[in-house]
Amino acid sequence: MLRSSLGGLSGRLVYGGGWLRALLIALCLSWGAMNLIALVIERRTLLLHPDREYTAFYYGDSLCLPAITLMIWYLGRHTLKSPNLSQKRWWHWACFVLGVAGGITIHVNDSFSRFYTRSQMYSPTKLYHDFVVVPCYTYILFSAGIPVIFQSKGGIRWRLAIVVIGLVFYGLNFYDMYHRKHDMHINFDWRRFSPG
């Protein structure tokens, strides 16, 4: 079996093992964790109500992001070890900082837009999405994805598939910007640690 030549934390943790580990991390980071937080802490289900959820979450986080992660995993095994952008420490920091900035930007924009109520802005799923999912996924996908798109010897089809599925995911997000849903996040009372 070919070993991954992707460096950094994302290369070792996500792409350094088998394909199943990469898939489980991709599913659990957003889709799985958001559903678990909603069920256990917010006492509601996200799975059974696709019409109430953002399309980028319901279809993008469950299908597009895991597919991209698996393709990066595959292409990482066909990427030359050196020179490889994913081996550069500054690159990993830049991707992580970009993700943190993206999460903060989303949260601040939503705060200023007053689209959500204050208690919705601080619901567990909203906080988890903005401050864990966005930074971590940006880091995981960009730190390894950009190097494999440009440096992998794994074939043009796989690289094009990453780009196309990535564009579909961003298209779903663009659609959601114009079809916002007020009930995506619930009102949550942190003093009582319950929906309210």
pLDDT of residue 1: 45
Per-residue confidence (pLDDT) for residue 2, from 0 to 100? 54
Condensed to tens digits (0 to 9), the pLDDT of residues 90-107 reads 999 999 999 999 999 999
Report pLDDT for 163: 92
Q: How far apart are CA 170 and CA 188, in angstroms?
A: 29
Taking phi over 0 as left and psi of -120 to 50 as alpha, with beta for the rest, 60 belongs to alpha
From the CB of residue 81, how many other CB atoms can be counted at a distance below 10 Å? 12
The answer to whether the CB of 116 falls within 8 A of the CB of 181 is no
CA angle 156/159/162 to nearest 5° reads 150
- Listed as ranges, residues in the chain with pLDDT below 50 are 1
Hey, what are 120's tokens? 């919705």
Q: Quote the CA–CA distance of 99 and 105 in Å, as a whole number.
A: 10
- CA 69 – CA 72 distance, rounded (Å): 5
pTM, full prediction = 0.88
Number of H helices, E strands in the chain: 10, 2
Residue-level pLDDT at 150: 86
Task: Report phi then psi at 91, rounded to 5.
Answer: -65, -45
d(Cα 121, Cα 114) in Å, to the nearest integer?
9
pLDDT at 12: 81
pLDDT value of residue 120: 92
